[in-house]
Every structure is written in structure tokens, then in C-alpha cells.
A and B are shown apart, each in its own frame.
Chain A
Amino acid sequence: MPEPIRTILEKHSREPDELIPILQDVQKEYGYISAESVKGISKYLRISENTIYGVSSFYAQFRFTEPGRHSVKVCLGTACHVRGGATLLEMLERGLGVHCGETTEDKRFGLERVACLGCCALSPVVQIDKEIFSRMTVNRLTEQLKEYE
């Protein structure tokens, strides 16, 4: 088992309740859930790899492929929808040449949608890495993306 995953596992007890917190930690560390991680978790928690995959694929948070260097999350909450969030997403899909949930070929951006970032009064919002940008427009977003390598 690679060291980091062992370190993650040892922070948790071996109860099945810890499955999702462990997956969250693994994703925080590696950016995604690899087959190898699933194997390690399976042995530790005594839950089959298939079950772990079944659980993790249920939740929108977990991904199974390597993420891009920057994550772009478009909020599609109601307020954002009413104020054009979907247009932003579409523009991004076209501009970056990927679908939602995918990573650009150069691994620069990973595009995702989120149900709601809770900043509805400032809609539409887009989150790039940890920063939330409010009252976004197609053109401002295009400019903003240029700042990321």
C-alpha cells in the first residue's frame, strides 16, 4: 500500500461508517479515487471493492479519473439558473472542448457542475479552485480563465 493512503486509513477506525470520510480524505489527497485506493480501503474496512465503488459512484463528489490542475465548477442552483448559469456552462463546454465532468486534454481544467454553492444572491456564480466568482458573465469568465495555467 502506498504510504499516503496508509496514513489516511490510520486516521480512521475500521467501522463501515468511516467509508465516506475516508473516500473524502483520499480524494482530497489525490484528487480522485483510484482503483488502488479502493483496494486499500477495501482491505482496511472489510468491505468489498465492488461495494465501495457502488457507494462512491452514488455521490456526486467522487471522481475516478485524474482531475485537471484547476477545477471549474459552475453553479446550477435555481437562482443561478434563472440568471444564466446554464449558458455559462454551455459556453465553457464549448470553449474548453469538454463535457461536464471531464478534464481538458492538457489537464488544465476539469469542468464540473454543482447543485448550489449557496451564494444565490450573487448569482450566477462560478467556482475556480477555491475562489468563488459572483455575478459572472460569459465574457468575464472567458477573461478570468486566461489567468490560470
Chain B
Amino acid sequence: MTREKKLKVTIDSRELEVRPNTTILQAARESDVYIPSLCTLEHLPSYGACRLCIVEVDGLRGYPTSCTTPVEEGMVIRTDTSELRSLRQEILKLLLSEHPASCLFCEEHDECKEFQGTIRKVGVTTGCRYCPNDARCELQEITEKVGLTETSYPVYYRGFPVEKYDPFYDRDYNLCILCGRCVRVCNSVRLNGTLSFKQRGKLTTIGPAFDRTHLEAGCEFCGACVSVCPTGVLSTKVSKWYGKPDSQVATTCVYCPVGCRLELQLKNNEVIDALPDYDSPVDQGLLCVKGRFAIPEYILSPERLGTPSRLTPVGYEVISWDQAIDEAAGRLRGTKPEESLVVVSPQLSNEDLFVAQQFTRQVLGSDSMISSVMVDLGNDLVPFLELAAGGSTFDTIEGARGILTVGFDSTYGYSPVGTRIKKAAQEGALLVTLGACDSNLDMLSETAFQMDHSRWAEFLGVLADYQARGGGKGKLKARKEWTDDIERISRAFSDSSTNILVVGPEAIFSRARREVFEKARVLRDKLGWKIIIAHPYTNLLGMLAMGAFPGVKPGECLREGTSVTLSFPLIDLTKRKKVVYFIGEGRFDMLPDCDYLIYQNGLPPATSRQPDLILPASLFTESSGTTTNGEGRVLKIEKATEPFMDAKSDWWILSRIAEKMNKGKLKYKDVAGVQTVIKRQVKGFYDSRRRIGFARINAEETTKWLKGAPNQEWEGSGAGKNPSYRGIPLARVVAGMKVVDEWVNTSLLSEKEAR
């Protein structure tokens, strides 16, 4: 790349060199010249509405806005003349006459500051505290910088009722200054189109079509609008009254395999909010509702397990960690390997998973270790793992010319993938969606095919056939009703240089998945398609790497260029077990009959079978480690707060029990210790420069290895539709997720009825 030639400009009599293709505002900011601005924001297209960033430029008439005017060689710019200062003040006065401003100009402002703590949450009529954004408001900041100390115009209080009926965030448009950041982020960054300006002039408002709620309007609740709002219009329900956070910690979201970067917001050693990081390469800041809004309520749930406890005939008895470890060790010691079962969660960290498999194998001497992914996929697990391990990175979507999605919808999950697909489609890539019901991607697709799951594989087959035969020679073996369409689509995909197939949960949890997986493999291996499997098992690749599957040793699957056959030992869930140990998992549908149940998790299970021993585990915001995302990147999980009460990390609990049972084994004192061992056993795992690569998994393996799997709810089954963390549905503890779940279920129902 040739180096960009810098431009010489003069800003406020300083001669500066600035990057070309920037606006005056960007150039000024990069040269540490302050120009006030409200509507501009990095990553958003410039808009030029607030008029505060006006400057004077020699040769340009009037007062151009610096956020919209590109720098040119030799420009002479003034940013701080007295004329500009007074014009800015006048404009800000006007702006503030649409925005209640007692937080700025009240005479009692200083006197009442001390008492404000007690009068929060009061209504508009009683005065001051109508705005949750105090002290983190850009308008307050700008007012100070512009030097405005009073306003002469009457305030038009627009008298809108505060909109509280949608989940996750409230909206008080009385505070809106129509800077349009939310509209731009919703339309230009998220490509979702929920928010729009409505009406015009002084009647302009912001919101969805007609008087719909955000839920009805197809909002993803990604919260991007909330993050960019410079005032207090949009505020997160959970954290709105906390005030300014004390600090933030960057970590990785473990709710799904995308692995989005989160900026956890902390106040008083509590996680109160999670914000996106637009510079994150994995997700580009395109968080979904779960990462954005479903974390604090889960972590701070009143149901959190805080102390070890033991079931007695009269209920649970709180015990110390020493007693709990003794109890667990005692029970496990007397159990034969085939009489025990360990259940691990795919949402554990790599380190926890590694210790869990070590524990099962070395301490219990067993290999009977299952997880939700095994139970959900049943005997289709191997082909599934094969595809998941051979998936492509998310950024391949950016260069794709053809994209086909099967049973994929990114409204409430996989947003970084969904939004990239939308962007590609908007920029001209061919997008075709295939599903049983509406998908949020239909909006931008060339054709949206709707048909029963049972026909998806056939569809893919016709497509693959067409392409394999190199186009129109011979008769197309397709159903009559789609011949025209599929021929057109097939031709378009054949002409395209890079195609991507995205297989979504609807397909993964459909009866016909095995055939879909097979066709996907054909497209990939024979025709060079890229595949992305959008499944819900967060650390699935970590499980493979760490050997957290029965019969799979740590590192065994990571030898790139080789092939590996996964042969699972028979696991019989119909047989009664002596001890079952649930590690970070709360789904009891896979619990076989047992004499003794150890339950190690953050929240209690929802079940009638009470665990005999409860071990409170810390959650991902409370302990460090790593997770492997769907692309094979090993991402850091950073401890943000101390664990809840007496909760402990999973690896810690396992190590202590192991120590007790079998002196000398698994004496881990910290995560670093676990990582040292992993480094030794799984070569190159922590090499942050590259993704981990997998050996080719032999997908022809068809041994039936699972007996007594719980009944699957086909078509839109649990795992895809109702997201959970460590086996606990988010909807159970996060109020907004419950609303979203109900909405999804009712709209699915009405759609089914309509058909």
C-alpha cells in the first residue's frame, strides 16, 4: 500500500498536516483541536444537523459544518472566532429550548446537588430528576464547553409519555434533540431499519412505522441506539438509575459461539451494563440482544447460588466449602467408573472444560461425559461436528458474491453474521434465504424460499447438481413449482466466485438435518462453497480441542491435515447411575435416574429433582479464562468482579475435589496453572496470532452411541429458539428475554396458523 500523502492545512493559525479523505472535524480532532459537535459520531455517516461544529473556511461562503466538509490542500480554517462562539451559543440555546434543561440552568442547581441522591426516579412534575443520563450526558458537556450559562427561550416540553412498553430500554422523547444518531446506527450500521424519522419540521419524531412498538416493528434490541444517544432519551431499564459507571472491563461474551467483545460497565463491583466495541474484528461491535442486555440481570439474579448446600430431609442445609468438598469426594470415591456420569456445559471456558475432562478421566477413571450438544444432535453429532470444525470465518461473508441461508434468522442472535450478510446483500451480493417461516434476512434477499424443512436438502441437492453439471445441460431434476426460480438462482450462484452457505438453528434442529449436513458438505467439498454453521453451543470447538467429548483426547482433533475418526463409547441414559455430576449445566432433560446428584452452577435448575449437593459456581464475568469461538479463535474472558458470595470457579471446585479424592492430582491454584498444562498437551492452542485448525473429522462414522436420549422437540426446538446460559433459559432470569421469547413463540404460532 502506498502511503497516503498528507495535506497541509491551517487550523486556527496552526499549520498542520492531516490525512486526506477526512472531514475538517476529523482532521481537527486528530490534531487535538476541539470543535463541539453533537450529531457526529465515529462509525456513523456524517449528518450536519446540530450545526455546532460550524467553522469558517477561507473561500467558502457562510459557516460550513466541519463534520461534512472534506479537508482540502491549503485550506485555511478557523474554529474559534468570536463570531463562531456566539453563533454556537445561540444555536445551542435553540437546541436546549427543545430539551428540558434544569440540570444545566437551575438556580438551585448547586444547593440541591447533595440531596439529589434521595430524589431520583421522581416524575417530571416534581422536578429535577427526569433524566437518567445525568453526569454522562454529552449535552451537559457541550453546554459547558460552549460556555452557555443561561437560556433565554421558553422550553417547549413536548409532553410525550415515556415509552416503557418495550423490553430492555425506555424511551423519553421529550429529551430528544433529533441528532439522528440512533436512526443512522439502526439503518447504516445495523441495517435493521427499525428507527426512522417520522413527520417533519417541529413535528418530527423518531420511531417505527405507525404507532408500533419496537417489538412489533422488528427491532433486534441490539441496543446500538441506546449506546449512541447523546442525551437521556434512550436508557437501559436495568442500569438507567445507576449513574456513571466506575470502570469498564473488556471481555468476551459466552452466550453463543460468535464470541463478541464486550465492554462490561462496572459500578460498585457489579456489572451493570455491557457495551459493544466497534473496533472488535470478530463482531465489529454488532452485539445481539443477549450480549447487550441479558448479562447483568443473569449475573445479579436474586436466584444466584451463593453458598454450598446439602439436601437433608428437612430441606437444604448451608455448609462450608470444606464440608462440600468432603461430601462430594466421599460420594465419588465409592463409585465405579460405569456408575457415574459427568455432564458438562458447552458454555464453560476452555480451562474449565480441560479440567472437567481431566477430572472425569483421571480422577473418576471414566469416559462417560456428556453435554447438551451430544444429546441434542444425537446420532447426527459427527456430521455436525465435522461441519462446525470445518467452518469459515465470519469475515468471508464480506467478500462473498453469493450467500444462501438455510433456516437462519439473526434477529435475536448471531447478529454479527446476520448484519454482515445484510451488508453484503446491500452492496450487491446475491442473497437467497431458505426457511420454513419468515426470516429477518428476507428483507434484503433476492428470493426468499419458504418450504417445509423436509424439502431443504432436496433444494440444496438441486442447486449442487446444477452447479456440478456446469449449468443448463440436461434436465433439471427439480419440483415443478420451483423450476424457474431454482434455475435462475442456481445460475446466479454458478456465476458467482465466492459462495457461502449459512446453516442456522432451524436447520440444525430439524428432522431432516442429516441430509442438509450432507448436501452442505457436497457444496463445500465439491463446489468450493464456504460454510458457516450458526449453532448455539458456545465453546463447541473448545470442547473438541480440550477433549471434552467421550473418546476424544485433548488436542487429538487439532492436527491439521490429518483426519480423525470420532468413536464415542456407548452411553446409556436409561440405566440408573449412582452419581451424576452436572458441571455448569442446568438442563435436566438429560438427567438419568440416579442416587446422588451433584449440581455445580450459578443458578438453581428448574426441576422437581432436587440436587443432593449444590456447589455454587462463578460465572464468566467473575473468573478469567478463554473461550473458542465458532471460527476457532481463542478469545480472552476477563474477570470483571469478584464472584457472587461464596461462588467459586468450576476448575477450582474440580481441583479441590480431585485433591481430596486422589492426592496429588489436579492441584491447580490458578487459571494460569491450567493454561500451562493445556499448552503442553494441546500444542499451539494459545497462539493468538492464528485460529486453531482442526483435523478432518471422518463424517461417515455412523455408530449409534446414545441410548435413551430425551425426546426432541423438532421444528423450532429449545436450543435454537430459547437461548440459555449454562442450561438456564435467559428468559427465566432476564425479564426482557421473557418478553422476546413470548413474542417469538406467538408470532411463530400465528405464522403457522396463517399457513
Residues of A participating in the B interface, judged by any CB pair closer than 8 Å: 35, 38, 42-43, 46-55, 57-58, 64
Contacts and interface: CB of A to CB of B under 8 A. Distances in A.
Contact of A50 (B196, B199, B200, B442): B196
Contacts of B444: 46
Interface string B425-462: 00000000000000000111100000000000000000
A47 B198 contact: no
Q: How large is the interface on B (under 10, 10 to 19, 20 to 34, 35 or more residues)?
A: 20 to 34
Contacts of B207: 50
B471 interface: no
Contacts of A53: 196, 198, 208-210
Nearest to B186: A50
B195 interface: yes
Given A53-B198, A58-B200, A35 B193 contact: no
Contacts of A51: 187, 193, 196
7 contacts: A43-B442, A47-B193, A48-B192, A48-B194, A50-B195, A53-B208, A55-B196
A48 B199 CA distance: 17
Given A50-B195, A54-B198, A58-B199, 8 more contacts: A46-B443, A46-B445, A47-B193, A48-B196, A49-B218, A51-B187, A54-B197, A54-B209
Contacts of A38: 209
B217 interface: yes
B443 A42 contact: yes
Contact of A64 (B187, B210, B212, B442): B210
Contact of B217 (A47, A49, A55): A49
Interface in B208-262: 208-210, 212, 217-218
Contacts of B208: 49-50, 53
B197 A58 contact: yes
B365 to A, nearest CB: 58
B5 to A, nearest CB: 36
Contacts of A42: 443
A50 B217 contact: yes
Q: 8 nearest interchain CB pairs?
A: A48-B193, A54-B196, A53-B209, A50-B208, A50-B209, A50-B196, A49-B209, A57-B198
A47 B192 CA distance: 10
Nearest to B205: A57
A53 B200 CA distance: 12
B438 to A, nearest CB: 10
Interface in B630-682: none
Interface in B522-574: none
B218 to A, nearest CB: 7
B224 to A, nearest CB: 15
A38 B217 CA distance: 12
A95 B607 CA distance: 68
Nearest to B193: A48
Interface in B90-140: none
Nearest to B203: A57
Interface in B599-627: none
A64 B209 CA distance: 11
Contacts of B442: 43
B443 A57 contact: no
A103 to B, nearest CB: 18
A64 to B, nearest CB: 7
Contacts of A43: 442-443
A43 to B, nearest CB: 8
A38 B216 CA distance: 14
Interface in B162-195: 187, 192-195
Contacts of A35: 209-210
B209 A52 contact: yes
Given A35-B210, A53-B208, A53-B209, A48 B200 contact: no
A50 B197 contact: no
Contacts of B193: 47-48, 50-51
A49 B442 CA distance: 13
A55 B218 CA distance: 18
Nearest to A47: B193
A23 B356 CA distance: 62
Nearest to A35: B210
Nearest to B197: A54
A42 B448 CA distance: 14
Task: Count chain A CB atoms within 10 A of each CB in B196, B212, B217 and give the residue with the most.
Answer: B196
